[in-house]
Amino acid sequence: MKAGYAYQNYINGEWKSAQGESEKVINPANEKVLAEVNLSSPSEVDEAVNAAKRAQLFWKTVPAPEKGEMLFEISQKLREQKEELSQILTAENGKPIQEARGEVQEAIDMGFYMAGEGRRLFGQTVPAELPNKHAMSIRSPVGIAGLITPWNFPIAIASWKMFPAIISGNTVVWKPALETPGMANAFVRILDECGLPAGVVNLVHGAGETVGNAIVEHEQIDIVSFTGSTKTGRLIASKAGSMLKKVSLEMGGKNAITVMDSADIDLAVDGILWSSFGTSGQRCTAASRVIVHQDIKTELEKVLVKRSKELTIGDGAKEETDVGPVISRQALENIHEYVKIGRKEGELLCGGRILSEGQQGKGNYYEPTIITNVQPSAKIAQEEIFGPVIAIIPVENFDEAMRVNNDSAYGLSSSIFTKDANEVFRAMHEMDTGIVYVNAGTTGAEIHLPFGGTKKTGNGHRDSGTASLDVFTEWKSVYVDYSGKLQRAQIDNN
pLDDT, block means (10 residues), the chain with 494 residues: 81 93 95 95 97 98 98 98 98 97 98 97 95 97 98 98 98 98 98 98 97 97 97 95 95 97 98 97 97 98 98 97 97 98 98 93 97 98 98 98 98 98 98 98 92 94 94 97 92 76
Is-contact 174 204, C-beta < 8 A? yes
CB atoms within 10 A of CB 455: 19
Segment (H or E) for 239: helix 230-242
Rounded Cα distance, 456 and 454, in Å: 6
Compute the 3-state secondary structure of the chain and give helix, strand, coil in percent, each to the nearest 5.
40, 25, 35
What integer pLDDT is reported at residue 276 of this predicted model?
Answer: 98
Q: From its phi and psi, is residue 37 left (phi > 0), alpha (psi between -120 and 50) or beta? A: beta
Its pTM surpasses 0.85: yes
Q: From its phi and psi, is residue 16 left (phi > 0), alpha (psi between -120 and 50) or beta? A: beta
Q: Which of 238, 212, 245, 196 is nearest to 51 (CA)?
A: 196
Farthest-apart Cα atoms in the chain, separation: 85
For the chain, helix (H) and strand (E) counts, in that order, are 15, 22
Question: What separation in angstroms does the CA of 167 have from each of 144, 146, 177?
Answer: 13, 15, 24
What integer pLDDT is reported at residue 213 of this predicted model?
Answer: 97
What are 199-232's pLDDT values in tens digits?
999 999 999 999 999 999 999 999 999 999 999 9
What integer pLDDT is reported at residue 3 of this predicted model?
Answer: 61
What integer pLDDT is reported at residue 490 of this predicted model?
Answer: 82
Rounded Cα distance, 192 and 251, in Å: 30
What are 261-298's pLDDT values in tens digits?
999 999 999 999 999 999 999 999 999 999 999 999 99
Q: Which residues are catalytic?
A: 284
What integer pLDDT is reported at residue 5 of this predicted model?
Answer: 87
- Kindly state the DSSP code that residue 254 receives in the 8-state scheme: -
Is-contact 315 321, C-beta < 8 A? yes
Segment (H or E) for 224: strand 223-227
Is-contact 369 390, C-beta < 8 A? yes
**Amino acid at the residue 350:** C
